[in-house]
Amino acid sequence: MKGIVFTELFDMVEEAHGYAAVDNLIRNCKLSTDGVYTSVGTYPSSDMFVLVGTLSEQLSTPIPDLLFAFGGHLFHTFTQKYQSFFQDHTHAFDFLVTLHDHIHVEVKKLYPDAELPNFEYQRANNQYMEMTYTSERKMSDLANGLLHHCLGYYDHRFKIEKENVVKDGSVVLFKISIL
Amino acid sequence: MTVQDIQLLERRLQREKAARKKAEEILEKKSLDLYESNKELKHINEILKQKIEDQNKELNKTQTRLQEIADTVEDTLFNMDHYGNIIFTNRYATLLTGYSYSELLKMNCIELIAPSMRAEMSKKILEFIESNDPFLYLEFQIIGKNKKTIWIGQKTTKSKLDNGQYKFNAIARDISQQIEDRNRLLKAKTLLDENERKYREIIANLSLGLCEIDLAGMITAVDKNFCHLTEYNEEELIGIHAVKVLTDDKGRNVIENEEIKRKQGISSNYTVDIITKSNRTKTVIISGTPKYDENDTIIGSIGIHFDITERLRDKQQIANIQDELHIFKFKYESILQRMQLGVIETSTEGIITKANDYICHLLEYELSNILGKSFNVLIGESLKDDQKLSKLPLDQQIDNAELNIETTSGKNKNVVMSMVPFYDAELKTKGHISVIHDISNQKRLHTNLKEAKLIAENAQKAQKQFLANMSHEMRTPLNAIVGMSHLLKNTDLNSEQEELLDILSSSTSILYSLISDILDMSKIEAGIIEVQSKRFLLQKLLNNLYKTFSIRCKEKELELKLSVDPDIEEYLIGDELLLNQVLINLINNAIKFTDHGYVEIKVDLVKNIHNTQLLKFYVIDTGCGIEKNIQENIFEPFQQKNNTLSTGTGLGLTIIKRLLEILDSEITLVSELGKGSTFSFEMQLAIDSSISDETDHEHENIKQQFENDYKLLVVEDNEMNITYISKLLNLWNLDFEVAKNGKLAVDRCRENSYDLIFMDLQMPVMDGIEATSIIRKELPKYSKVPIIALSASTLLTKKKLALSAGMDDFLAKPYTPKQLLETTRNYLKISISTPHTVVNSIKSGIDQNYLKELYGDDDEYKLEMFELFIERLESNLINLEMHKQSDDFQSIAKLCHKIKPSMAMVGLMDLQSMIEELEHSAKSEDRVKIDHQYRMFTQALDSKKKLVMEEIKLLKRIDE
């Protein structure tokens, strides 16, 4: 998993609860790196699961809610850092369909070792599309958070329905309607 | 800051430091990787660059070599891209076209092609692209830079590129010289063929036999004439030895001697006898010439054979012919003597040299007295001066001249004479032969026929007159009976008398209709019904019919329905009287044969056609219906639905059918036995768009002023008619011109513009029909200008002829000022500002049509009835008022019933129905209704009484 996910998670916790919370989190987890992460590095996913699980306990927030919030934070960071990916579009769907075939390709160029979730799209029209999320890391809630903020970013009024295609959450269908 | 804080910051610092180091490590590694990759890339780039340079050099070399080769080629080379743009060419192309390389490379190949051939060439190239042909050869003209036209022959191949587009390679060659040579050759060959054909034709026409032989004397070619001459066919002759087969010993010697000359190249003519297939001897003149091949070597000879056998024989026969001529002459003369035609031979001076018996007989002369006399004096007295003998050129003839001649005893004879010159052996005119045919008898017969025709025409006129008189004479007493019966009803009668009177009335009306039918039928048969087109209110006509028949329907307890399509125009132009008559007959019939249910009068608008409406009239009943097998001939005279029920002449439907034929329509019958019948017919009526007042205010109308600047043309040859129409048109302030015949009218129309043309039909030089056809066909600006026929003939055929020639309407002469005005107004489409006033409608309350039917032309009788009406009115009204005061409903009903018919007698149909309603209300003792209806009736009567008085005044004036 890319280091940016870890550094951003720490940033989010620090913003909300101060660095003491980050320190507390790191010290309470058994991590492969002793809590040292850099955005350009790559680290085992298990570290993330441990961090999220612990954070959930410490904040008494369910993991899905935590991941959803983290999605929102991440999206905000992306729009700051990679503005050019977003500003070419006026409709969220136009951006979303570029995600897998375009942005992920660019990411892969920079970080050949990045393991990215797979997205499949079915766009009916400008009002409705479906996205299927496939990832062994089963972090569809994170994706959900990203999606919500993305739709908000383009000023749409929208509704997103999420359903598990495979029970364990490795394949998830998002039904996105513009209202 | 607490210790914990410091420890926390220290931990953070350590983590950040570790992270930075880790990041630097990663980045350094990445950096190194990048440097290595870059180095490799640079190397690859350099290799590539070198390769491209090498290839470019090679390519340039090839290109140059190719151009060099191309430039040395003595043909024009072009490479074109998919769109025909020239992308490669060679030196020769620049020489041929005069354009430089760079100019050519900016051009599209089509620009080079001569404009006249571009379309054709483009088409062929497109076909080539579509086709599977590997190449295309075209010959066409191109235009060089110096505008010179060059013929080129071009072979084009195509190759398909990876992107699906085509590339074309073309090799072209200047073929101008070839084309010129080819054309010259073609011309020469045509000329040669032409000469050869002429030459052969001449020989064929001259009946000259052509025969070619080779040096061995064998026949190599013959023509038809030669075959005919020798009686052999071509197959038999080719390859045989001419002299051996076709001549005897004597001829053979002559020919063989001649053939020696041929071999020396000498031509000659000689006469020889030949033997034909059937062993006959024929004498021919042979014109022989040697025949050469291309190298001028003699390869045989050609002989032209001219058969003179007949000519030789003719000489011998002349003597025989002269004998025969003598016999023939004798025969001819005896025929001339005996036939029923006069024959005279005259000398060039016009002196009679020969004459046959018949002419002597005709002229009552002895032959000896005729011979030596002048033809002009004896026969040609009545010939025109330039046809008289000695004045007439000698070689001229006269065909079928009609002459009057006088016999010795002074009788006049009509003869037809034809005269031809005759010649002597030197073809000099020797004199004339005249043949004379007596046609006095035919002339007499012709005159008699003319007289007979006149008599017949007079008889027809008399018949018409008789029918007109009859109509009046028969109807007058009947009118009296009908009228008197009505009046009798108004007197106090006992029930027996009333019953008798009813029988009298119904019998009279049957008799009346019988006579009407028979007279109508006779009129139709005599062809003297005239169609008159006048404007009328269809709704009014139908309302009157409705009123007239609703009484009869009530008597039979039938419902009478009337429905009229609301889209039908109010004012229409047509023959109201005939239409009315047709409908009366149909409704009469319907009521007669219906005992239950209803009778319906229905008018539908079928469609609008220009300025006319096509209407469909229906008379529908729920009566007994008509059997299928009778339906076909029910329109024939004296066929009735049910003979046992017959109460009429059986002419009713026939009259309807004939009247509709006159009106260009046709009756249709749909019927089912026991269920009812529907009679229908269509009628096309013109729309009268001008709104004018209804009444006969002829004076006002005649003073009509036309405000617009219309210009009319009157085409008329009769001075009196011109004066009449001029007066009227001047009165109405209408500008017009007069043309005195059709030809002048056409000329005027060519020069000027008119808004309306009145055209007489019969005129000298060119009649109205022809003039109209020309105006319609040749002058497009007159396609819509109305042309109105003016004719004294009311015959339908004449009218049809006029309309089919393109005339719009037909005004029968003599026309009244009002008719002329109405027609003018109709066709100039002038709307009259006079509104349709209430007064007019009240005046129109007198139904003149009904009165006309009732009284015909008998104004005296009409006056009597009108006066009687007024006389009685006062007392009737007083009585009615009294009954009303005393609420004596029964008496009101009775009195109403009594008064009712008298209303119809003065044509106040609406009052009649009002009083009828009053009668009904009185019977049902409905006081409210009675009050209302009584008031309405007396008010209406008050105003209409004036109309009746006016009518009386008018009638009295006519009487005086």
pLDDT recorded at residue B228:
86
Q: Which residues of B touch A (CB under 8 A)?
A: 8, 11-12, 15, 18-20, 22-23, 26-27, 30
Instruction: Report the greatest alpha carbon distance in chain A.
Output: 49
Of chain B, the end-to-end C-alpha distance in Å amounts to: 148
pLDDT tens per residue, range A58-68: 988 899 999 99
Has this prediction a pTM greater than 0.80? no
Q: Which domain holds residue B774?
A: 698-834
Spatial contact of B420 and B446, defined as CB atoms under 8 Å apart: no
Range in B208-212, B574-578, B610-614, B730-734 with the lowest mean pLDDT: B730-734
Confidence of residue B75 (pLDDT cuts 50, 70, 90): confident
Same domain, B679 and B593: yes
Conformational region of residue B759, where left means phi above 0, alpha means psi within -120 to 50, and beta covers everything else:
beta
> Tokens 């020489």 correspond to what residue?
B95
Same domain for A92 and A47, yes or no, is no
**Amino acid letter, B86:** I
Residues of A in Cβ contact (< 8 Å) with B11: 23
B15, B20, B27 member nearest A35 (Cβ): B15
Contact B15/A39, CB-based, under 8 Å?
no
B24 lies in the same domain as B79: no
Inter-residue contact A161 to A100 (CB < 8 Å): no
Domain shared by B410 and B455, yes or no: no
Same domain, B936 and B845: yes
B19/A38 touch (CB, cutoff 8 Å), yes or no: yes
Say whether both A109 and A51 belong to one domain.
no
- 3-state SS, B331-343, equals HHHHHHHHCCCEE
CATH code at B822? 3.40.50.2300
pLDDT the model gives residue B464: 66
What pLDDT score does B639 carry? 56
Confidence of residue B620 (pLDDT cuts 50, 70, 90): very high
Q: Is the pLDDT of residue B178 over 80?
A: yes
Distance separating the N- and C-terminal Cα atoms of chain A: 35
Closest residue in chain A to residue B12, using alpha carbons only: A23
- Tens digits of per-residue pLDDT, B294-314? 778 888 888 888 887 877 776
Contact B12 A40 (CB under 8 A): no
Q: Band of the pLDDT at B699, cuts 50, 70, 90?
A: very low
Q: What is the mean pLDDT of residues B783-797?
A: 75
Whether residues B492 and B626 share a domain: the answer is no
Answer yes or no: is pLDDT of A108 > 90: no
Beta-carbon contacts of residue B618 (< 8 Å; ≥ 6 apart):
B600, B601, B602, B603, B604, B678, B679, B680
Average pLDDT, chain B: 81
Least trusted range by pLDDT, from B67-71, B183-187, B696-700:
B696-700
- Indicate if B928 and B915 belong to the same structural domain: yes
Q: Is B714 helix (H, G, I), strand (E, B) or coil?
A: strand
Mean pLDDT of the region B200-209? 67
Confirm or reject contact between A169 and chain B (CB < 8 A): no
B628: pLDDT strictly greater than 80: yes
In a domain, B323, yes or no: no
Nearest CA in chain A to B34: A110
- A19–chain B Cβ distance below 8 A for any pair: yes
- Which of B8, B12, B26 lies at the smallest CB-CB distance from A41? B26
Cα distance between residue B141 and residue B724, in whole Å:
76
Q: What's the pLDDT score for residue B553?
A: 87
User: What average pLDDT does this structure show over A6-35?
Assistant: 90
Alpha-carbon distance A179 to nearest alpha carbon in chain B (angstroms) = 45
Q: Report CA dihedral (B481, B482, B484, B486) to the nearest 10 degrees.
A: 160
3-state helix, strand, coil in chain B (%, to 5): 55, 20, 25
Taking only the tens place, the pLDDT of each residue in B809-834 is 888 766 777 778 888 887 876 543 33
- Check residue B697 and give its pLDDT: 41
Contact B23 A37 (CB under 8 A): no
| Total number of domains in chain B | 8
Measured between CA atoms, the residue of chain A closest to residue B18 is A36
Is B829 in the same domain as B879? no
Interface contact B15-A38, CB threshold 8 A: no
Asked, for residue B194, whether it belongs to a domain, the answer is no
> What CATH number is associated with residue A73?
3.90.1520.10
Residues B20 and B51 in one domain: yes
- Is A83:A46 a contact under the CB 8 Å cutoff? no
Tell me the chain B residues in contact with residue A17 when contact means C-beta distances shorter than 8 Å. none
Task: Answer yes or no: is B764 within a domain.
Answer: yes
pLDDT tens, position by position, B514-538: 777 777 777 777 666 777 788 888 8
The residue type found at B290 is P
> In this prediction, what percent of chain B has a pLDDT beyond 70?
88
Number of domains composing chain A = 2
- B780 or B641: which leads in pLDDT: B780
Q: Residue B810: phi, psi to the nearest 5?
A: -140, 120
The pLDDT score that the predictor gives to residue B836 is 31
**CB-based contact A36 B22, cutoff 8 Å:** yes
Average pLDDT over residues B190-210: 72
Which ipTM was obtained for this model?
A: 0.80
Touching check for A99 and chain B: CB below 8 Å? no
Q: Beta B86-89 vs B298-307: how paired, if at all?
A: unpaired
Q: Quick one: which of B465, B462, B469, B504 has its CA closest to B484?
A: B504
The answer on pLDDT for B703 being more than 60 is no
Q: Are residues B905 and B828 part of one domain? A: no
Of B509, B528, B547, which closes a domain? B528
| Cα(B706)–Cα(B55) distance, integer angstroms | 98
By C-alpha distance, which of B603, B621, B598 is closest to B613? B603
Q: pLDDT of B360-412, one tens digit each?
A: 888 888 888 888 888 888 887 777 777 777 777 777 788 888 888 888 888 88
The predicted-structure confidence for B757-783, as pLDDT tens digits, reads as follows 999 887 888 888 899 999 988 888 888
Selected for mutation to probe chain B from A11, A27, A31, A36 (highest B CB count within 10 Å) is A36
Query: What number is the average pLDDT over the span B108-115?
Result: 88
CB pairs under 8 A between A and B: 29
Q: Which domain holds residue A128?
A: 69-178
- Neighboring chain A residues of B37 at a CB cutoff of 8 Å: none
**pLDDT single digits (tens) A47-56:** 999 999 999 9
How far apart (Å, rounded) are the C-alpha atoms in residues B198 and B196?
Answer: 5
Is residue B704 domain-shared with residue B737, that is, in the same domain? yes
Which pLDDT belongs to residue B387? 74
If asked whether residues A75 and A152 sit together in one domain, one would say: yes
pLDDT at B894: 85
State whether A78 and A150 are in the same domain.
Answer: yes
pLDDT band at B340 (very low <50, low <70, confident <90, very high): confident
CB distance B571 to B532 below 8 Å: no
Q: Which residue of A has its CA nearest to B25?
A: A41
Strand order across the B756-760 sheet:
B735-739, B711-715, B756-760, B787-791, B809-812
Spatial CA neighbour of B529 closest among B579, B488, B479: B579
Q: What pLDDT is recorded for position A130? A: 92
Among B528, B546, B569, the domain-final residue is B528
Peptide bond into B814 cis (omega under 30): yes
Q: Are B378 and B352 in contact (CB under 8 A)?
A: yes
For A:36-65, CB contacts with B below 8 A are 36-41
**Boundary-marking domain end, from B685, B717, B737:** B685
Q: Which H or E run contains B891?
A: helix B889-905
